[in-house]
Amino acid sequence: MWASRNARKLLIRIDSSCMSSTFLSQISCQRGNDKIVSSQFLARLSFQIETKSWDAVLKVEKTVHMLRSYRIDEFLFGESRYINSLIAYDYLPVSSHPMIKTYVEPGNKLSTAYETVEESGIITLRDNKEHRFDITVYDDYDNRANYTFTVQRQTVTPVRPEYNENKPGVPVYYNRNNKHEQEGMSITIPAGSLYRSIYLTIDTAMYAPAYANSPLWNIHSSDVPLHTNATLHLRADVDEAIRDKALIVAVSKNGGIKATGGTWENDGVTSKIAAFGNYCVMVDTTAPAIRPLFKKGADLRKHASLSIKISDELSGISTYKAFIDGEWALMDYDAKKNVLNYTFDPKRIKRNTKHTLLLTVTDKRMNTAGLETTFTW
């Protein structure tokens, strides 16, 4: 449950879910004018702050009988992926402004951002008194935004939510190696892949994409980031003769397909995945597409280079080889534009001469396409 409040262009979300390594159900909260009432026996609160840009949050302070603060001055390149834990990852698809967490998830090893963090930045309400909270955000120029409010816990029957048998999913711990198997699939999530422990949910969709060779599996939620890859195995129905062309693909909410790859093992495909989401098995038997960005026999003597568009709809480009007049030619591959570029070199090819270009392109499932064309330079 979330509560939000705008104050001087500062949006603060109050996160009432417990961030500890045990599995505690969320606390239900409601917002009054400046008061939030928690109806949990042991209320645990943490906060998230929306800003217009990364550099708008240089320092965050929370005051509730003590100082809790952190700075975003710099971070080590090797720790940059931990930013997925520093921000509210689930908020990225719905806002162009980052939402910064003021608490530290147990799997977050970012070493340079936190100055003073007590109890991981989580506030525990152990009585029914009103507690005042002050949150102040500073930027590089010492501009600041402040929000003050109170929180009060209501008295209810004590519960042990970490033993909630009705919680859907399978417990997966951030600090342990986890493997879950069920009919048709298995997933391995190593220690350190998660920033906090979760209840892993897995099911199948009613419909799979056209030409899919397995059900479409819904693997938890794409709102939950992975720090390191998990290993996914999906059972599939593929003819033995083309099993080497089978691969796992990720399917987006709008139906887009992106290959993750993988190899055939036992009764299906095993692949590393970098994110939770929707996955199925498909077979790639289609060769890459090759399209020269010049006409056959074109006069390119006034040009410094030539370009060829190459693409592959599923598994992706693996290798390419080019020869001009029988000699190997160095091509520069622009992966963002899917274009091969060749810069003319008078030391390698003759000027004012008709040349023959041979190109072969192979995708990651060993489907190959070829091109033979001519040009004058």
Whole-number pLDDT of residue 33: 43
Overall domain count for the chain: 3
Q: Tell me: pLDDT of 27 over 80.
A: no
Whole-number pLDDT of residue 22: 30
Residue closest to 4 by CA, chosen among 24, 44, 39, 34: 34
Final residue belonging to a domain, choices 122, 137, 163: 163
14 and 85 in a single domain? The answer is yes
339 and 369 in a single domain? The answer is yes
Contacts of 219 (CB under 8 A, 6+ apart): 187, 202, 232, 273, 276, 277, 278, 279
Whole-number pLDDT of residue 122: 74
74 and 91 in a single domain? The answer is yes
What is the rounded average pLDDT of the residues 85-102? 78
217 and 346 in a single domain? The answer is no
To the nearest whole percent, how much of the chain has pLDDT over 90?
Answer: 53
86 pLDDT band, cuts 50/70/90, is: confident
Poorest-pLDDT segment among 42-51, 113-122, 131-140, 288-297:
42-51
pLDDT tens for each residue of 60-83: 555 554 445 666 666 778 888 998
314 and 188 in a single domain? The answer is no
Whole-number pLDDT of residue 239: 96
CA–CA dist 321, 312 (Å, integer): 16
144 and 239 in a single domain? The answer is no
pLDDT tens for each residue of 284-329: 999 999 999 999 999 999 999 999 999 999 999 999 999 999 999 9
Whole-number pLDDT of residue 135: 75
What is the rounded average pLDDT of the residues 362-367? 97
What is the rounded average pLDDT of the residues 144-158? 68
Q: What is the pTM of this model?
A: 0.80
Whole-number pLDDT of residue 52: 56
Q: Tell me: pLDDT of 59 over 90.
A: no
CA–CA dist 15, 122 (Å, integer): 10
Q: Tell me: pLDDT of 2 over 60.
A: no
Residue closest to 117 by CA, chosen among 75, 49, 60: 60
241 pLDDT band, cuts 50/70/90, is: very high
Q: Provide the residue range defining the domain that includes 361.
A: 289-376
112 vs 5, residue with greater confidence: 112
SS3 string, the chain, reads CEEEEEECCEEEEEECCCCCCCCCCCCCEEECCCEEEECCCCEEEEEEEECCCHHHCCEEEEECCCEEEEECCCCCHHHHHHHHHHECHHHHHHCCCCEEECCCCCCCCCCCCEEECCHHHCEEECCCCEEEEEEEEECCCCCEEEEEEEEEECCCCCCCHHHCCCCCCEEECCCCCEEEEECCEEEEECCCCCCCCEEECEEECCCCCCCCCCCCEEECCCCCCCCCCEEEEEECCCCHHHHHHEEEEEECCCCCEEEEECEEECCEEEEEECCCEEEEEEECCCCCEEEECCCCCEECCCCCEEEEEEECCCCCEEEEEEEECCEECCCEEECCCCEEEEECCCCCCCCCCEEEEEEEEEECCCCEEEEEEEEEC
144 and 205 in a single domain? The answer is no
Whole-number pLDDT of residue 292: 98
What is the rounded average pLDDT of the residues 19-34? 33
Whole-number pLDDT of residue 166: 57
220 and 362 in a single domain? The answer is no
101 and 18 in a single domain? The answer is yes
151 pLDDT band, cuts 50/70/90, is: confident
pLDDT tens for each residue of 224-240: 999 999 999 999 999 99
Final residue belonging to a domain, choices 163, 192, 213: 163
120 vs 355, residue with greater confidence: 355
The β-bridge partners of 360 are 321, 370
Residue 234 burial class via C-beta count within 10 angstroms: exposed 0-12, middle 13-18, buried 19 and up: buried
Whole-number pLDDT of residue 72: 64
CA–CA dist 56, 85 (Å, integer): 18
Whole-number pLDDT of residue 31: 37
275 token code pair: 């994110």
Q: What is the CATH number of the domain that holds 321?
A: 2.60.40.3780
119 vs 201, residue with greater confidence: 201
Q: Tell me: pLDDT of 276 over 90.
A: yes
pLDDT tens for each residue of 168-201: 889 999 999 999 999 999 999 999 999 999 999 9
Final residue belonging to a domain, choices 251, 267, 283: 283
Whole-number pLDDT of residue 49: 61
158 and 15 in a single domain? The answer is yes
Q: What is the CATH number of the domain that holds 250?
A: 2.60.220.30
294 and 181 in a single domain? The answer is no
pLDDT tens for each residue of 137-147: 776 677 777 77
To the nearest whole percent, how much of the chain has pLDDT over 70?
Answer: 74
Q: State the average pLDDT for the chain.
A: 80
134 and 209 in a single domain? The answer is no
